[in-house]
């Protein structure tokens, strides 16, 4: 049997084949389908149109519905979208629904999925959101799909996929204290461009990757889509298995896979993390790469720490280390990705002070767990850029209008760089603050 990459092995299993090759089209069985308040209503419309008004989803326990984008707003249309989710859940008796305004509410779907045990090695996870690729950190094939495809999956549990070739990115060395996973992925995107991995799997490997905790691995896979990737993926190790086994919803069996020795990769890039320096993406594209040292001193109006990319506990712990005992010079918004992360702001401490107290004492504003301003949203969205200001952010995209005003300038950076910049009021190098 020819050697296969991880992604090929997973799609082979899901399609009932012994082997698949890049470019091969296959019908795959879907293990989990996720949708949220932005795309859920359209997906449900497709489902009922093509399967009938009385149709039932293929498996009520494999559909996960998570309102997270436009929820803390007075916008009537946004509120209506959440009502549509509630109606669908009731009609279909969906088991996993994390409704806003209830004790079950979670927050950002991509972080909620692993927290609630919906990510498992070797599975196929699809979601109506491009950053579904985040879950590749758990050794599974995870990718975003459109409403039409998702509507079909709701009715059949299957979808038609072309097997992507795999690009391999190897990170070696000891990560310096001034670097985070965000720096690594911005370096990659800057090198290959926003279309450099179009319809390809991005496999991350190397001792530099496996030294990262699971949240940082999620950041790596999260931004595969910013390079055009079909999916990002990291082979499961004991860190992965410990996390999954602790949370596995329904205690479902799973099979972790690794790329075979001799598997054919489209290409390979090797990085020595010990030689990298903090990276930033200038407006208006994630591949508009610069080293922070090259743009140091650029004036800023706002700092934003949050989103599926930069709103996890690891991100906040890093930022709080720099902000502890200091005061920000610009408006600084802190948005935990999930309610679990929000609780962590109170339980995680530095020098006896909670992360929440550190942020508030520094002058930052803390919002409710959600996507908030990452995707702009209605004008009353927490942290939204409603005027043409300059913002440094831990989010994933900086296209015109992405975080609100179409003339706003958004710089993408790690939580360390954002925190250092919040203190300076200009783009700052966190190395100047770390001892």
Residue 366, beta-bridge partner list: 334
Q: 435 pLDDT exceeds 80?
A: no
d(CA 130, CA 149): 13
Q: What share of the chain has pLDDT > 90, as a percent?
A: 99
Structural domains for the chain: 6-270 (3.30.499.10), 280-432 (3.30.499.10)
Please check whether residue 67 is in contact with residue 37, taking contact to mean a CB–CB distance below 8 angstroms: yes
**Whole-number average pLDDT of the chain:** 98
Using the structure block, give the residue that is written with the tokens 């040292």.
293
pLDDT tens for 126-157 read: 999 999 999 999 999 999 999 999 999 999 99
pLDDT tens for 373-389 read: 999 999 999 999 999 99
Please check whether residue 427 is in contact with residue 333, taking contact to mean a CB–CB distance below 8 angstroms: no
Cis peptide before 311 (omega within 30 of 0): no
Q: What is the token pair recorded at 322?
A: 């720099």
Q: What is the DSSP string of 97-148?
A: E--TTSTT--B-HHHHHHHTT---TT-EEEESSGGGGGGGGGTSEEEE--HH
Predicted pLDDT at 1 = 83
pLDDT tens for 384-405 read: 999 999 999 999 999 999 999 9
The pTM for the full model equals: 0.97
| Burial label, 216 (beta-carbon count in 10 A; 0-12, 13-18, 19+) | buried
Q: What is the token pair recorded at 197?
A: 């991995």
In this structure, the strands spanning 267-272 and 166-172 are parallel
Distance, C-alpha 359 to centroid of its chain: 23
């Amino acid at each position: 049997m020819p050697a296969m990459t991880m992604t090929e092995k997973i799609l082979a299993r899901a399609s009932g084949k012994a082997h698949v090759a890049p470019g091969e089209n296959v019908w795959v069985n879907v293990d989990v389908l996720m949708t949220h308040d932005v795309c859920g209503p359209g997906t449900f419309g497709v489902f009922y149109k093509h399967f009938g008004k009385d149709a039932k989803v293929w498996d009520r326990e494999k559909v996960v519905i998570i309102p997270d984008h436009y929820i803390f707003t007075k916008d009537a249309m946004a509120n209506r979208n959440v009502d549509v989710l509630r109606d669908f859940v009731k009609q279909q008796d969906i088991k996993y629904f994390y409704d806003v305004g209830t004790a079950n509410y979670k927050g950002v779907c991509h972080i909620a999925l692993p927290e609630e045990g919906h990510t498992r090695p070797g599975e196929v996870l699809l979601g109506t959101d491009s950053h579904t690729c985040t879950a590749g950190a758990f050794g599974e094939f995870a990718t975003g799909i459109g409403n039409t495809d998702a509507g079909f999956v709701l009715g059949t549990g299957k979808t038609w996929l072309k097997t992507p070739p795999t690009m391999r990115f190897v990170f070696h060395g000891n990560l310096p204290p001034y670097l985070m996973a965000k720096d690594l992925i911005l370096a990659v995107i800057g090198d290959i461009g926003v279309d450099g991995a179009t319809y390809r799997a991005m496999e991350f490997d190397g001792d530099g990757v496996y030294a990262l905790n699971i949240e940082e691995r999620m950041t790596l896979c999260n931004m595969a889509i910013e390079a055009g990737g079909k999916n990002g993926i990291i082979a499961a190790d004991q860190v992965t298995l410990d996390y999954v086994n602790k949370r596995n919803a329904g205690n479902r069996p799973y099979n972790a896979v690794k790329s075979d020795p001799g598997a054919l990769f489209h290409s390979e890039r090797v990085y020595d993390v010990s030689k990298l320096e903090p990276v930033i993406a200038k407006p208006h594209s994630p591949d508009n790469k610069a080293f922070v040292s090259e743009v140091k001193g650029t004036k800023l109006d706002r700092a934003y720490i949050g989103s599926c990319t930069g709103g996890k506990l690891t991100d906040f712990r890093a930022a709080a280390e720099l902000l502890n005992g200091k005061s920000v010079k610009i408006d600084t918004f802190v948005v935990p990705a999930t309610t679990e992360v929000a609780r962590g702001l109170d339980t995680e401490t530095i020098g006896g002070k909670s992360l929440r107290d550190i942020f508030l004492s520094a002058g930052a504003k803390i919002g409710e767990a959600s996507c908030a301003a990452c995707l702009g949203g209605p004008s009353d969205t927490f942290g939204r850029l409603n005027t043409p200001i300059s913002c440094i952010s831990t989010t994933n995209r900086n296209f015109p209008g992405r975080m609100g005003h179409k003339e706003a300038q958004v710089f993408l950076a790690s939580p360390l760089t954002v925190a250092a910049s919040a203190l300076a009021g200009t783009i700052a190098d966190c190395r100047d603050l770390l001892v």
